[in-house]
Amino acid sequence: MKDIVRYVGDFLWNILLVYICYMLCRGIFVLDNWDSFSYLTMGDFMRLCRGGLLFDTAAIAYTDVLYALLVFFPLYLKECRGYKLFVKWTFIVLNLVMLASNLMDSGYFPFSNQRTTTSIFAQFSNEDNLVGVLLIEALRSWYLVVAFAVMAFGLWKLYRTPEYPSGNKVGYSLVSFVFLAFFALASLVGMRGGVGKAIRPITLSNANHFTERPAEAAIVLNTPFSFIRTIGKEPFNVPSYFEDREEMTEIYDPLHLPSGDEEFRSLNVVQIILESNSTEYYGRGFTPFLDSLMKESLTCVHSFANGRISIDAMASVLSGIPRMGESFILTPSALNPLTSAAGELGRNKGYHTAFFHGAQENSMGFKAYSQSVGYNEYYGRESYGNDADFDGHWSIWDEEFLQFYARKISTFPEPFATALFTATSHHPYVVPERYEDMLPEGPLPIHKCVAYTDMAVRRFFETASSMPWYENTLFVICADHTNIVELPEYGTEAGRYKVPIMFYMPDGSLKGKRGGTIQQIDIMPTILGLLDYDLPYVAFGNDLTVTPPEKSFAVGCNNGVYHLFKDGYLLQFDGEKPVALYLYDTDQMLEDNLIGKVDIQDDLLLLKSVIQQYMERVTSRDGLVFAPGS
C-alpha cells in the first residue's frame, strides 16, 4: 500500500510543482505591471490568488490530461526507463510552453490591458518580423527569461518519476485504471470550474467574480486558460435587455438620418491615426507641433479610445464600430457589409479614396479592412518602393512615409478622402540614428518615438500647406490607443483610454475646446456632419455637430466588463449588473466606488441599448448590419 501511495504521491507532487509555477507567474505578472496594480494590498493579492486557483486548475487539467494518461495508462509494458524519460520530457515541455505564455503576457499586458487570447494569431498572422521583435523584447525583459530558466530547472530537478512497485500485473492494471478514471473525473470538474447541474464551464468573464476592478481579472486569469477557452468560441452573445425595439432605439440609435437641409460641402478629408499616442505624452515637450495644432483645432474636454489595440482603432476610427467584447476585425462579423466616412463619400459623392500604412501590405489586416469599408486604393511598404527607409522592424519611417503621403495625395483628383496610420511610435521604440541625439529624452522609451512622430507630422503639414488642395481640407488627427504609462493618473481605468482627438481646418473655422466627451467612434459621424452629408448611414457614435455636450459619451469593453464614460463618471457593467461607478479623476481609489450613492438608471439604460444593438448587428444575417442605410 505504501508503494501505491508513493506512486500516486509522486504524480501529485509533479502537479503541485506546476501549481507553484503558475502562482509564481502571477506574482511576476503583478510586479512587472506594478504601475497598474500599485494600489493592491497583500490581502487583495491573496484574494485574487484564491480566485486564480480556479483558473489554474482548469488550465492544468487541460494541459496535463495527457501526462496523466501516460502515467496511469493500465499497460504494464510501459514500465521501463525509456518510457518514463519520455513521460518526463512530455510533462516538462508541455508545462514550460504554458509557463512561457504566462510570462510573455507580463510584457504584453501594458499594451492590451488584458490576458492574451487566440485572437492574437489573427492579429499578427501576416507579420514576418515577430521573431526579431520578440528577441529584442527578451533582451529588455531579461528578468522574465531568467524566471523562465529557473522554473525550467526547478521542474527538471524536482520532478519525481512515478514508480509502480513491481509485482502483480493484474493489480497494476486495476490500480492504474482506478487512478486514471479518478483523474479524468477530477480534470472534468477542474475544466468546468465546479460540480453540479447549475455549474457551467467557466469562461474568462468568470474572473470578474473575484475582482473589485476589471483590470484585476488579468491577475486572476492565466494565459493558457485564456487561449484554451477562446478556441473556436463565438465572440458575441445577444442580450435581451429590451423587448420593445422602439423603446431601445429611442434611448440610442446607431442609424443616422441627416436632415439634408444644408448643401453638401465637398471638402477633402485627411485622417491621420497616430500609433500609441496617449494624452499622457502631450503638453510635456515631446509633442510641440501637435500641442500647437490642438490649440487651433476643435477638441473635447475628455477624449477616449474605444479599444486598446490598433485593430480596434481601425474599426472605431474609420467605421464607428467600438470594441464590445472581441476585436471586431478578427471576427466573422467583419465579413458583413461595412462602411466608413470614405466609403460613404466615395460611393455616393464621387470621392477618390485611399488608405496608407508604411508596413507590408498584409500587416495587421489593415489592407483587407480598409478596402472592405470603401478605401479603393491602398499604399504600403511595397508601394513606397524604397526599403532603404525601412525601420528594420515594422514599417517605413514615419517622416519619409508621411512625405510620400503628402506627395501622393497631391496627385489625386479632388475631392478625396484618405487616411494614414503611422507606425514608428511602436515597440521596440527606435528612431532613425540621425535623430538619436536630437530628440527629447523621457523616462519611457516611447517618449523619443512620440517626439519623432510629432516632428514627422510637422514636416507633413509644412509640405501639405504648399499644396493647392490644403485650404479645402478637413484634417482629423487621433491616436489608436494608449501605451506604456508613467504618470499615475494615466494608469487608472479611465486614463488608459485617454487619447488625443482633433478636427482642424486651415481657415480656422474649427477651433476651441468643446465640453463633454468624444470617442473614436464619433469621428466618422462628425466628419460626415461637418460636410453636411445628406444620406442615412450606420455608425455607433455621435455626430458632434448635432449632439450637445451633455448627451455625448464613450463606450468600450475590456476583460468582459463594459464601460461608459459620461458626465465625468465611469460606469462599469458586467453584462448583468453594474459593478462600479467612479469619477474620472478618482477611479484609482476603490473606496470611491459610488454605486448606490448616485442615480445611474439613465446611464445604465443607455449602455444596455448600445450593447444590445451592437450585438444584434454583429450577429445578424437579416440586414441589420453596418451598411449604408440599414
What are 294-336's pLDDT values in tens digits? 999 999 999 999 998 898 999 999 999 999 987 888 776 776 7
pTM comes to 0.78
How many residues are recorded in the chain?
630
Q: How far apart are CA 452 and CA 425, in angstroms?
A: 8
pLDDT digits (tens, 9 = 90+) for 213-239: 767 888 998 988 888 876 765 667 889
Are the beta carbons of 274 and 477 closer than 8 angstroms? yes
Q: Which residue has the cell 485574487?
A: 48
Sign (positive or negative) of CA dihedral 311, 312, 313, 318:
positive
User: Of 62, 52, 84, which is closest to residue 183 (Cα–Cα)?
Assistant: 62
Mean pLDDT of the chain: 87
pLDDT at 628 over 60: no
Q: How far apart are CA 218 and CA 45, in angstroms?
A: 12
Q: What is the pLDDT of residues 151-182, one digit of tens each?
A: 999 999 999 998 776 666 666 677 778 888 88
83-92, 195-204, 591-600: which is most confident: 83-92
Q: What is the pLDDT of residue 362?
A: 75
pLDDT digits (tens, 9 = 90+) for 602-624: 999 999 999 999 998 888 755 44
Supply the pLDDT for residue 198: 41
Whether the CB-CB separation of 389 and 405 falls below 8 Å is answered with no
Whether the pLDDT of residue 123 is over 70: the answer is: no
Which residue would you say has higher pLDDT here, 194 or 538? 538
In the chain, residues under CATH classification 3.40.720.10 are 246-253+266-484+518-619
d(CA 247, CA 282): 42
Q: Check: CB of residue 188 under 8 Å from CB of residue 202.
A: no
Residue 197, pLDDT above cutoff 50:
no
- Sign of the CA dihedral with 58 first, then 63, 64, and 66 last: positive
Q: How many degrees, rounded to 5, is the angle at CA 105 between CA 99 and CA 110?
A: 160
Residues whose CB falls within 8 Å of the CB of residue 42, separated by 6 or more in sequence, listed in order: none
Choose among 374, 460, 384, 458: nearest CA to 418: 374
Of 502 and 36, more confident = 502
Spatial separation of the C-alpha atoms in residues 537 and 373, rounded to whole Å: 13
Alpha carbons 117 and 114: distance in angstroms, whole number: 9
- Tell me if 99 sits within 8 A of 106, measured CB to CB: no
Domain 246-253+266-484+518-619: CATH superfamily, name plus number: Alkaline Phosphatase, subunit A (3.40.720.10)
- How far, in Å, CA of 586 to CA of 592, rounded? 7
